[in-house]
C-alpha cells in the first residue's frame, strides 16, 4: 500500500495546531504497519531547514503560479519521506495562514490551491515520480481541492480520503478564483465546490473524496447535526455511510513523562514545583495549579474560564496559562495576570517547552471546548498525570472518563466531564476536582488511571489502513 499524505503542516517541520501533530505521527505509524506513506507539504523555509537529506527533484513553471520547485527530504531522525513544494512568493513568510495581526493572507486560495493541485498531480496518472500512490490522503481545507482536480483530470481518479480535523475552517473564497485555479466551470455547482455563492475548499473535499474521516467517533456523529455541522451537516449526513470517526493518537515519544527533555528533572508522579518558580507563581504547597495550553479562541471555551476565574481564585486555585489567538481573549488573560500577581501566570505566545511543563506540572488541566474534533492536550495531560476538566463534546467525550463515584471506585475515572458549558458548571467541576485533589489516595488513583490510558497511534493507524483498503481496487 502506497499513500501520499497531503497536509499544510506537520510536526516538527511546521505547526500551528493538532493537524501538525497528526501529520507528523500518522504517516510514521502507517510506515510501522508496512505502508509506504509519504508526506506532501509546502516548503516553508523553516521546514526545509529542519528536514534531512533534502534534494531537488524538479522545477516547473505554471502560468497562474510562476516558478515552482519540488524537493524531497525526510523528517528529522528516522521519519517518513516528505515532498516539499518550493514557491518563494507563497511560502516564504512568517505565519502559515495569517500575518502577525491574525489576518488571513490574501492569496491563501492560490497558496493552498497549489498544494491541492500538486497533491492531485503527484497522486494521479501524470505524476513525474516513481512513487505511484494507491491512495491520496488529504487533510482539512488546505488540501480540499485535490479530490476535485483528480475527478476532473483523470479518467480513473486515484481513490482519496479526506480527513476533517476541524470543520470550522472552511477555506471560502470568491468564485473568480476557480478559473485561476484551473477548475472547470461545471465544478461551481451545489454538487461541487460551490458554497452559498462562493467556493469552499473544505466542501470540495467533502464532496469529491472517495471516503471521509474525522478525528473522533463522537465528532463524526455531531457534524451531521445542525448544531455542529457549520452549514455542511446535510452533505455530511448524506455521506454518513462513507464517513468514519477515528480517534487521533498522540506521539508517545514526544510526550513521554519518563523521558521528556523539556522537563527540569526526570518526571515522577510527584508534581514539579519548578513550574511555579518558572512562572513566578507564589510558593503555595496547598494551592492546586490549574493549567491551560490552547489557542485562545471561542472554540476552546477560554472565555468561560475567564468568567470563572474570580470564583476559582477565591477557592484557592493558581493558574498557569499558555496560548495565543483572539486579541480580546489575550487581553482578558493579561489583565487577569496583572490583577493577580503570584496567582495567575499567563504567557501569550507559542512555547513548546512550556506546553510540556504545564501539562506535567499543573495539577488539573482545563479544556472546556465548545466543540472539539479530537483535541490532543487532554490526552497529553492524562499521560502526564494531570487530570483534565473537559466538556462532553467530540474527542473530549471519547477520551476522558468522568470521575463519578462509581468510576472512581472502579478505577476507570481519568478526569472530570461537564455536560453543559457555562460558568456555574465549570466552577462546580473544578471545585470538585480541587476537593478530590486534597485526598492524596483518591487523587493518586485518578492520576494513575489517567497515565495508564493507551493513547498511542498503533491501533489508530490500523483503522486508517482499513479505510484505505476499502477504496483500493
Ligand atoms: P487545536 O488543533 O484545535 O489547536 P489540539 O488540542 O488538537 O487543538 O492541538 C493543539 C496542539 O498545539 C497541541 O500539541 C498543543 O500542545 C499545541 N499548542 C497549542 N497552543 C500552544 C502554545 N501556545 N504553545 C505551545 N503549544 C501549543
Q: What is the DSSP string of 181-197?
A: TT--GGGSSTTTTEETT
Q: How far is the CA of 21 from the centre of ligand 1 (A)?
A: 9
Rounded CA separation 294/91 (Å) = 25
Rounded CA separation 445/467 (Å) = 37
The pLDDT of residue 100 is 87
| Least confident interval from 43-52, 148-157, 194-203, 298-307 | 148-157
Is the confidence at residue 270, as pLDDT, over 70? no
pLDDT band at 101 (very low <50, low <70, confident <90, very high): confident
| Least confident interval from 252-261, 332-341, 409-418 | 252-261
Rounded CA separation 437/351 (Å) = 28
Contact (CB, 8 A) for 436 and 407:
no
The pLDDT of residue 324 is 93
Rounded CA separation 45/49 (Å) = 6
Rounded CA separation 231/208 (Å) = 17
**Cα-Cα end-to-end distance for the chain:** 11
The pLDDT of residue 280 is 85
- Over pLDDT 70: what percentage of the chain? 98
For ligand 1, what atom is nearest to the CA of residue 374? 7
What secondary structure letter does DSSP report for 158? P
Q: How far is the CA of 114 from the centre of ligand 1 (A)?
A: 26
The pLDDT of residue 133 is 97
pLDDT band at 266 (very low <50, low <70, confident <90, very high): low
Q: What is the pLDDT of residues 355-382, one digit of tens each?
A: 999 999 999 999 999 999 999 999 999 9
What secondary structure letter does DSSP report for 395? H
| Helix or strand (DSSP H, E) at 408 | helix 405-410
For ligand 1, what atom is nearest to the CA of residue 352? 25
Contact (CB, 8 A) for 383 and 450:
yes
CA nearest neighbour of 316 among 142, 468, 437: 437
pLDDT band at 271 (very low <50, low <70, confident <90, very high): low
Q: How far is the CA of 186 from the centre of ligand 1 (A)?
A: 39
Contact (CB, 8 A) for 52 and 75:
yes
Q: How far is the CA of 276 from the centre of ligand 1 (A)?
A: 21
CA nearest neighbour of 383 among 437, 454, 451, 315: 451
What are phi and psi for residue 176, nearest 5 degrees?
-70, -15
β 198-200/194-195 pair status: antiparallel
Closest-CA residue, ligand 1 atom 22, reads: 350
Rounded CA separation 149/414 (Å) = 45
CA nearest neighbour of 203 among 217, 187, 181, 218: 187
- For cell 493572507, what's the residue? 105
* Ligand 1 pocket by Cβ (under 6 Å): 17-18, 21, 293-295, 322-324, 350-352, 355, 374-377
Rounded CA separation 219/163 (Å) = 12
The pLDDT of residue 267 is 54
Averaged pLDDT, 211-222: 98
In the numeric block, which cell numbers belong to residue 146?
Answer: 485535490
For ligand 1, what atom is nearest to the CA of residue 166? 3
The pLDDT of residue 90 is 98
pLDDT band at 351 (very low <50, low <70, confident <90, very high): very high
In the numeric block, which cell numbers belong to residue 373?
Answer: 474534533
Q: What is the pLDDT of residues 167-188, one digit of tens each?
A: 999 999 999 999 999 999 999 9
Averaged pLDDT, 216-244: 97
Whether the full predicted model's pTM is greater than 0.95, yes or no, is no
| CA R_g for the chain | 23
Task: Tally the residues of the chain.
Answer: 473
| Least confident interval from 124-133, 241-250, 258-267 | 258-267
If one residue of 169, 294, 375 were mutated to test the ligand 1 pocket, choosing by the most ligand atoms within 8 A of its CB, it would be: 294
Q: Is 36 exposed, middle or buried (0-12, 13-18, 19+ CB in 10 A)?
A: middle
What secondary structure letter does DSSP report for 44? -
If one residue of 302, 348, 351, 355 were mutated to test the ligand 1 pocket, choosing by the most ligand atoms within 8 A of its CB, it would be: 355
Q: How far is the CA of 322 from the centre of ligand 1 (A)?
A: 10
Rounded CA separation 181/112 (Å) = 10
Is the confidence at residue 269, as pLDDT, over 60? no
Is the confidence at residue 272, as pLDDT, over 70? no
If one residue of 165, 374, 376, 382 were mutated to test the ligand 1 pocket, choosing by the most ligand atoms within 8 A of its CB, it would be: 376
Average pLDDT, the chain: 95
Closest-CA residue, ligand 1 atom 24, reads: 350
In the numeric block, which cell numbers belong to residue 63?
Answer: 502560468
| Helix or strand (DSSP H, E) at 73 | strand 66-74
The pLDDT of residue 391 is 98
pLDDT band at 273 (very low <50, low <70, confident <90, very high): confident
Amino acid at each position: 500500500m502506497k499513500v501520499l499524505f497531503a497536509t499544510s503542516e506537520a510536526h516538527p517541520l511546521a505547526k500551528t495546531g493538532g493537524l501538525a501533530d497528526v501529520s507528523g505521527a500518522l504517516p510514521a505509524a502507517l510506515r510501522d504497519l508496512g505502508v509506504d506513506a509519504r508526506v506532501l507539504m509546502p516548503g516553508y523555509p523553516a521546514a526545509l531547514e529542519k528536514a534531512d537529506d533534502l534534494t531537488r527533484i524538479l522545477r516547473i513553471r505554471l502560468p497562474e503560479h510562476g516558478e515552482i520547485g519540488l524537493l524531497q527530504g525526510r523528517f528529522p531522525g528516522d521519519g517518513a519521506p516528505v515532498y516539499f513544494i518550493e514557491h518563494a512568493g507563497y511560502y516564504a513568510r512568517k505565519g502559515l495562514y495569517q500575518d502577525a495581526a491574525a489576518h488571513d493572507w490574501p492569496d491563501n486560495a492560490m497558496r493552498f490551491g497549489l498544494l491541492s493541485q500538486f497533491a492531485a498531480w503527484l497522486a494521479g496518472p501524470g505524476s513525474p515520480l516513481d512513487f505511484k500512490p494507491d491512495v491520496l490522503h488529504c487533510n482539512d481545507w488546505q488540501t480540499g481541492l485535490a479530490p476535485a482536480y483528480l475527478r476532473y483530470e483523470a479518467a480513473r481518479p486515484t481513490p482519496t480520503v479526506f480527513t476533517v480535523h476541524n470543520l470550522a475552517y472552511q477555506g471560502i473564497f470568491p468564485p473568480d478564483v476557480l478559473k485561476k485555479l484551473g477548475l472547470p466551470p461545471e465544478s461551481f455547482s451545489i454538487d461541487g465546490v460551490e458554497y452559498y455563492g462562493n467556493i469552499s475548499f473544505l466542501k470540495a473535499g467533502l464532496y469529491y473524496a472517495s471516503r471521509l474521516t474525522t478525528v473522533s467517533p463522537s465528532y463524526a456523529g455531531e457534524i451531521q447535526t445542525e448544531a455542529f455541522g457549520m452549514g455542511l451537516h446535510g452533505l455530511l449526513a448524506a455521506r454518513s455511510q462513507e464517513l468514519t470517526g477515528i480517534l487521533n493518537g498522540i506521539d508517545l515519544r514526544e510526550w513521554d513523562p519518563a523521558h521528556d527533555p523539556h522537563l527540569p528533572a526526570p518526571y515522577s508522579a510527584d508534581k514539579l514545583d519548578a513550574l511555579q518558580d518558572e512562572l513566578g507563581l507564589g510558593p503555595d504547597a496547598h494551592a492546586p495549579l490549574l493549567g491551560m495550553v490552547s489557542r485562545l479562541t471561542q472554540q476552546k471555551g477560554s472565555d468561560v474560564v475567564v468568567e470563572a476565574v474570580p470564583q476559582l481564585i477565591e477557592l484557592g486555585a493558581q493558574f498557569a496559562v499558555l496560548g495565543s489567538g483572539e486579541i480580546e481573549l489575550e487581553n482578558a488573560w493579561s489583565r487577569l495576570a496583572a490583577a493577580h500577581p503570584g496567582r495567575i501566570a499567563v504567557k501569550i505566545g507559542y512555547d513548546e517547552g512550556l506546553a510540556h511543563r504545564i501539562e506535567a506540572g499543573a495539577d488539573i488541566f482545563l479544556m472546556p471546548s465548545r466543540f472539539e474534533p479530537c483535541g490532543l492536550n487532554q490526552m497529553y495531560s492524562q499521560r502526564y498525570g494531570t487530570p483534565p476538566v473537559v466538556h462532553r463534546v467530540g474527542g473530549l467525550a471519547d477520551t476522558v472518563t468522568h470521575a463519578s463515584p462509581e468510576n472512581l471506585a472502579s478505577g476507570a475515572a481519568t478526569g472530570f466531564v461537564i455536560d453543559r458549558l457555562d460558568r456555574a458548571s465549570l466552577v462546580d467541576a473544578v471545585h470538585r476536582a480541587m476537593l478530590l485533589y486534597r485526598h492524596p489516595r483518591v487523587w493518586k488513583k485518578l492520576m494513575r488511571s489517567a497515565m495508564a490510558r493507551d493513547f498511542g497511534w498503533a491501533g489508530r493507524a490500523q483503522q486508517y489502513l482499513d479505510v484505505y483498503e476499502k477504496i483500493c481496487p
